[in-house]
Amino acid sequence: TQLLEQSPQFLSIQEGENLTVYCNSSSVFSSLQWYRQEPGEGPVLLVTVVTGGEVKKLKRLTFQFGDARKDSSLHITAAQPGDTGLYLCAGTGAGSYQLTFGKGTKLSVIP
């Protein structure tokens, strides 16, 4: 069974600060997706990474896939209150289409 551990579980920071959240596993993933989920809504896709060592940027968000494709990180620069939400990582294993989700990091950015 593939598991994804996300840390920290909760993060509260001041507006303008930088932060990094992590997604770790002992398993290799073919691809890894980051989602953001608001209360009572479905996960909204932010980015997909597929190549070990890959880095993708989405405005102030930087996503990295580990060289061994077992871990990933999300770095937010100069966080804003609009970044508040639940950030989920989810991966697929070789030969499978099912997404395995982590429990998420709940981010609060205080104005």
Partner 1 sequence: EPEVTQTPSHQVTQMGQEVILRCVPISNHLYFYWYRQILGQKVEFLVSFYNNEISEKSEIFDDQFSVERPDGSNFTLKIRSTKLEDSAMYFCASSRDSQNIQYFGAGTRLSVL
Q: Would you tell me which residues interact with partner 1 (CB under 8 A)? A: 30-31, 33, 35, 40-45, 48, 50, 88, 90, 92, 96-104
**Residue 37 beta carbon to partner 1: minimum distance, rounded to whole angstroms:** 8
3-state secondary structure of 83: helix
CA distances from 55 to 40, 72, 75, 93 (A): 30, 10, 11, 20
**Residue pointed to by tokens 């001041």:** 14
Give the dihedral of Cα atoms 56, 97, 2, 28; nearest 10 deg: -50
Nearer to partner 1, 42 or 82 (CB): 42
**Residue 55 beta carbon to partner 1: minimum distance, rounded to whole angstroms:** 18
**Residue 107 beta carbon to partner 1: minimum distance, rounded to whole angstroms:** 16
Nearer to partner 1, 25 or 100 (CB): 100
